[in-house]
């Protein structure tokens, strides 16, 4: 995939719109989900993801190799954090998350829905680095090196953040 990423960005640099569309199609969902975990807001998440893709489109040579997904995650993460630091959406964070028009999941037992809601709520209370590392690694399936690149840290720090987050989940839920 990394060779494909480099090839697509090279095609993008040559003005190939289809390459850009392929990049967006391959990575958009992950980038939006990461930004949403940081901002807690669908609109801000989509804005951060869109801006990350625009930055790649404007300067495809900024990506010099490695994992394009991790590179895009890093850009979107920084944009989402800047959004939070600006304080533009803090007051709306919780309300918008509850009102989001996310797709309806398949039916679950009431106790499973309650447990899932408790886990999600608990994950939101984790420090940003642990929450982001856990979601990128365990949910999105990025490897530790890609997560490290996306979060601007080392693979060892990612490993520690994921272990710490999992330990806290086990302590909270006894599993």
The 10s digit of each residue's pLDDT in 94-134 is 455 555 555 655 676 777 778 878 888 888 888 988 988 99
Q: Which CATH number belongs to the domain containing residue 130 in this structure?
A: 1.10.10.10
Per the CB < 8 A criterion, the answer to whether 38 and 77 are in contact is yes
Total domains in the fold of the chain: 2
Q: Which CATH number belongs to the domain containing residue 29 in this structure?
A: 1.10.1740.10
Give this prediction's pTM. Answer: 0.64
Judge if 55 and 84 occupy the same domain. Answer: yes
Judge if 1 and 72 occupy the same domain. Answer: yes
Judge if 67 and 148 occupy the same domain. Answer: no
Which residues, in sequence order, are CB contacts of 6 under 8 Å at separation 6+? Answer: 63, 65, 68
Task: Look at the alpha carbons of 119, 121, 127, 128 in this order and tell me if their dihedral is positive or negative.
Answer: positive
């Amino acid at each position: 995939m990394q060779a494909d990423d480099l090839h697509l960005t090279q095609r993008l640099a040559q003005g190939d719109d289809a390459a850009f569309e392929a990049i967006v199609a391959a990575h958009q969902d992950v980038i939006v989900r990461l930004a949403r975990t940081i901002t807690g807001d669908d609109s801000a998440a989509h804005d951060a993801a869109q801006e990350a893709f625009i930055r790649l489109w404007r300067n495809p040579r900024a990506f010099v190799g490695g994992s394009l997904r991790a590179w895009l995650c890093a850009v979107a993460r920084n944009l989402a954090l800047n959004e939070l630091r600006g304080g533009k959406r803090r007051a709306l964070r919780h309300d918008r998350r509850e009102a989001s028009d996310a797709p309806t999941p398949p039916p679950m037992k009431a106790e499973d829905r309650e447990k899932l809601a408790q886990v999600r709520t608990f994950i939101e209370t984790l420090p940003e680095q642990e929450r982001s590392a856990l979601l990128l690694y365990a949910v999105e399936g990025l490897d530790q090196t890609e997560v490290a690149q996306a979060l601007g840290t080392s693979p060892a720090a990612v490993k520690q953040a994921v272990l710490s987050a999992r330990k806290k989940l086990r302590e909270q839920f006894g599993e």
